[in-house]
Chains A and B, each alone.
Chain A
Amino acid sequence: MKAIYKREVSSYFNSMTGWIFIAAMTAFIGIYFMVYNLFSGYPYFSSALGSTLYVLMVLIPILTMRSMAEDRRSKTDQLLLTAPVPVAGIVLGKYFAMLTVFAVPMAISALCPLIIKINGTAFLKADYATLLAFFLLGAVEIAVGLFISSLTESQIIASVGTFGLLLVLYLWDGLLTYLPASPSGSLIGLMVILLLVCFLINALSDNWKITGAVLVIGLAVLAVSYLKASAKFVSLLPNVLGKFSLLAAFNSFAQDHVFDLSGTLLYLSLIALLVFLTVQVIQKRRWN
């Protein structure tokens, strides 16, 4: 893992990708910092970070698009996969390398709250907590990019796919308001989600028995709880999906200045899930 991590980091800095990413991130954080904090005199750096989130959506795919796809296209994955290194080591090495590149503009922007402090009142705790949330959110987005990149050989498809998925995650809360809130609508929606999950399980395990068991048990639980208390299904679907809102967790840091522990856990578990899925995709590919 260490060898791959070192190679990836040096590769980012030997090519333009790493520098461009860092330069663009720093520039945009700088612009928002200047506008919000320096010129408008707003004491919270977190609001500048909140606006930078949209820049992240564009820049993260540039960072992640080649991570897995390029190795597969140029067949260098033959070197990595035939070396005595577990697949998880390869994936984590690449993931941590991307986090390292992402950490550079984060470290630079960690100076901003101090600059505010020099010029007056600063809310250091809130700002640094938001910076941590921003970093974790970026880490989730990098994991999304890593996963999409493992699905394809094409960097273009990887970057466009990542951008598309990130856009959906950003629009998540808005989209949820269009979902049916009635009990029966929620039931149908949850069943669709269950089907999608089963589809994923089947693709990963190639074992229809497990899939069938999950599907049957899931359907039974849904049906029984619906028959027992259908009132509880009112707007259940938007509520359940709303729990996965990435921006809501960030906003409780940035706007409400609250340390959102459950949001942090959401980020960490999403990262773990996506890295796990990436490992599975690569393992699975050997059988095709």
Chain B
Amino acid sequence: MIEIKNLVKRYGDHNAVDHLSFTVEDGQVFGFLGPNGAGKSTTMNIMTGYLAATSGEVLIDGHNILEEPEAAKQCIGYLPELPPLYPDMTVGEYLRFAAELKRIPKGEQADQLQKALSLTHLEEMEPRLIRNLSKGYRQRVGLAQAILGFPKIIILDEPTVGLDPKQVVEIRELIRHLAKDHTVILSSHILSEIRAVCDHVLIIRKGTFVVSDTPEALEEKLSAAGELEMEIRGTAQQAEALLETVAGITGHTVLEESSGLARLSIKTDRDIRETLFYAFADAKCPILELKPRMATLEEVFLDLTDDDDLIAAKAAALLTGRQDETQEEEGSCDESHL
């Protein structure tokens, strides 16, 4: 288990990581999602002990990374953003060096090496100089280094960057395979990738915590705060009168009205599609189209990564389901500006 408590990393007067706290349970595939510069790599570098935090604590299986660095690092395999490779070594030499660094017992080294090579499909590359490998292969050598010895926790910083689509699929397969008996933490700025493999997502923005949940739960939250879009044959007045009779509608707007057709957007607090259908059917007012207008996770994520803090705050509120609070906060912000 990994516990991150109130992590702060300050560079000058800029906080790269700002009071970040979260917990990664054993056996999870934990995804770090955030736009470039959100503090993903910095957080990972702190978790692995490469950087030290300005304040806050990192506990790896109960070992503080600063106080018991060796015990904590023993549990971690890490692939940084740029694979830390020595170009003057062959793949085999490099991995044997990494195995010794990780204190894998001599007797197991050959066996572990073969496992790591076969999982990353590098068997034929073993005698090749790393200098001569392509970007994709270098990434895989880095990955092989991270999983070598199969530590309990495997931390991968943007593992699929620079790979072709087939290799991306292979790496995802590998992550799923590892997830069976390891904790895997990976970072990405691509939502679909996180959704494909992770069972828990942490979204961070500008170094601060936005939301942490399962991808499914996040999508559910979004659809709960949904909207319906409806097209009917009739006038807008007719439709508005009918909508009055249906319970569960919190508001509506006319989007468009032309040549006997009207298009409306309806805000609801529950699923009213059936009652809506019968209400309009009874009034002999045909519904031509009825569709949910929920923001997709993609859209919300796009907003989250927006430079504008207001847009991002709204998107964050959608995800956390604390719309009212944030609006109040915004209000107080405005006042303070005055």
Contact = CB atoms under 8 A, between A and B. Distances in A.
Interface string A67-94: 0000000111111111111100000000
Given A3-B101, A7-B86, A84 B70 contact: yes
Contact of A84 (B45, B54, B103): B103
B215 interface: no
A71 to B, nearest CB: 9
B50 A4 contact: no
A286 interface: yes
A2 B100 contact: yes
A11 interface: yes
A15 interface: yes
B48 A79 contact: no
B80 interface: yes
Contacts of B78: 78, 82
Given A84-B74, A286-B51, A287-B52, A78 B101 contact: no
Given A83-B102, A84-B103, A85-B101, A78 B84 contact: yes
Contacts of B102: 83-84
A86 B86 CA distance: 20
Interface size on A, as a range, is 20 to 34
Interface residues of B, number: 30
Contacts of B80: 75, 78, 82
A14 interface: yes
Contacts of B82: 75, 78
Contacts of B136: none
A82 B50 contact: yes
A120 to B, nearest CB: 47
Contacts of B74: 84
Interface string B259-278: 00000000000000000000
B84 A76 contact: yes
B100 A82 contact: no
Given A3-B100, A80-B84, A81-B49, 10 more contacts: A3-B97, A3-B101, A6-B100, A11-B86, A75-B82, A77-B50, A79-B98, A79-B101, A83-B73, A286-B52
